[in-house]
Amino acid sequence: MADKIMLSEFLDVGKVIKTKHYNSNNWVNNLVYSFNNDSIEIDIGLEKDYIENIIMIGDTMRCKYSTDAFEYTMTGWVSRIKLEHPQSITIKIHEIERFLNNRKSYRYDVYLCSIIKKNKDDKKGVFAIVVNLSNIGLAFVVNEDLEKQLSKKGTLEKGDMLFFELYITSRKKVCFEGVIKGQSPSEKGKKYGVEITHIDKEDRNALEGFINRLEKKDNEIYNRQDGFWSKHSKYNK
């Protein structure tokens, strides 16, 4: 039996973790106010997502945190909501998973529409959602029934080549070829990791411009973290 993973092995007060309400597709950046053996208290001051959406005691939450060596995913439920300023949510963690961080570059959490084809000349494609993205790869989720249209075998496998039309805005798409690198289950289908193998110069520039905007947004979160943290330094034990 594997040893139980403890929050204290990788988490620290003042760090930024990503959380997602079970009813939402968006990951939110949150500061860790405090934690113990099985609970994490996080702020809801850096983002408005949890203020504008209804969150109730007992709601399921997903959390994730990355180090250079590992990626941690956590599942829990909301056990406390503090309405006094600064507002916070406490999540009771009941499951922690740890994976080796083998990614060659940082992946940004996104929720983008994509059309995936067997090849560039194929007139028909399959709708999928891209859930994370970097300048060299991505992950997408596809419905299992639709997936069958992309492979004669009925399921995609490691090494399969595909052509992607990724909509980075409602009017702008980037196109590229990619190879399947791995697969994992997802709540809404199957999730596949992809490495980009070919992209032309124009699409490369558009993709890198989009990645730069995501990076800028992330940097703004961490810069705001410093100011927010000093303002509420009573939590810094």
Q: Is the dihedral of CA 131, 191, 92, 233 positive or negative?
A: negative
Give the SS3 label for residue 32: strand
The predicted structure's pLDDT at residue 226? 60
**Alpha-carbon span 105 to 193, nearest angstrom:** 13
| pLDDT at residue 227, rounded to an integer | 60
- Rounded to an integer, the average pLDDT of 117-139 is 94
State residue 199's pLDDT score: 97
- For position 62, what pLDDT does the model report? 94
Write down the pLDDT at residue 78.
95
Question: What pLDDT is recorded for position 110?
Answer: 93
For residue 171, the one-letter residue type is: R
Domain 7-102 = CATH 2.30.110.10:
yes
Residues 81-90: what's their mean pLDDT? 86
Report pLDDT digits (tens) over 23-61: 887 888 888 999 999 999 998 755 555 555 678 899 999
User: Minimum mean pLDDT among 64-78, 128-142, 180-194: which range?
Assistant: 180-194
What is the pLDDT, as a whole number, of residue 225? Answer: 60
Q: Is the dihedral of CA 208, 178, 70, 131 positive or negative?
A: positive
pLDDT by residue (tens digit) across 165-177?
999 998 999 999 9
**108-216 fold:** Thrombin, subunit H (2.40.10)
> CA-to-CA distance for 192 and 164, rounded, in angstroms?
13
The structural domains of the chain, with segments of one domain joined by +, span 7-102, 108-216
Q: How much is the pTM?
A: 0.76
Say what the pLDDT of residue 51 is: 53
Query: What is the average pLDDT score of the chain?
Result: 86
User: Out of 119-128, 152-161, 213-222, which region has the weakest mean confidence (pLDDT)?
Assistant: 213-222
Given a cut of 50, whether residue 195 has pLDDT beyond it is yes
Whether residue 135 contacts residue 211, with contact meaning beta carbons closer than 8 Å, is answered with yes
Q: Is pLDDT above 80 for 123? A: yes
Q: Are 180 and 194 in contact, with CB atoms under 8 Å apart?
A: yes
β 88-100/16-21 pair status: unpaired
Is the pLDDT at 121 greater than 90? The verdict is yes
Encoded tokens for 13: 């007060």
Of 23-32, 33-42, 155-164, 208-217, minimum mean pLDDT range:
23-32
